[in-house]
Amino acid sequence: MNEHAKLNAYAAVVEQATLKLERLLPGPAERVWSYLTDSELRRQWLASGPMDLTIDGPMELVWRNDELTDPPGARPEGFGEEHRMQSRVTEIDPLRKLAFAWGPGEVSFTLEPKGEDVLLTVIHKRISDRANMVKIGAGWHAHLDILKARLEEADPKPFWDVWSSLRNEYETMIPA
């Protein structure tokens, strides 16, 4: 079995209020890094917005999840067409690690070359409660699936349909 087959696509609760996800992505690391840091590439799988790539550098994430896939799927009740978050970069090691504040929490991306591929590890710390862990786990999972599809030059599945299905799965997986 190859390393890609061993990776679990689902988020794991690795400590209290912390989720970890991994994806083996087509490299090289420079390409994956650009999808994390370049607003136009990032908007294709997560959220657009300016990012000052310095410690304490300001950044903004602008989610327009209806624009991630065509078709977008059925947007669940309670979600708007756009969501914005102001943040700041907390750690940067180009081509290796990027971290930023997420409200009272933090999200980090670590890149590790694996031959021609890159292992991307996402850790989301200090998630406020179980309900948010369920939504955030499903969200990162769906967004990372789109990133993988973009890097593979494949068509991703409808974002909202995937997210809704994953939310139901995470509801049964995340401990009470």
The stretches of the chain forming alpha helices (DSSP H) are 3-6, 29-37, 39-42, 130-151, 159-173
Pairwise CA distance, residues 100 & 57, whole Å: 9
- The end-to-end CA distance of the chain, in Å, is 33
Global pTM reads 0.95
Pairwise CA distance, residues 111 & 29, whole Å: 7
Do 48 and 42 touch, CB atoms closer than 8 A? yes
Q: What is the pLDDT of residues 56-103, one digit of tens each?
A: 999 999 999 999 999 999 999 999 999 999 999 999 999 999 999 999
Q: What is the pLDDT of residues 2-18, one digit of tens each?
A: 444 445 789 999 999 99
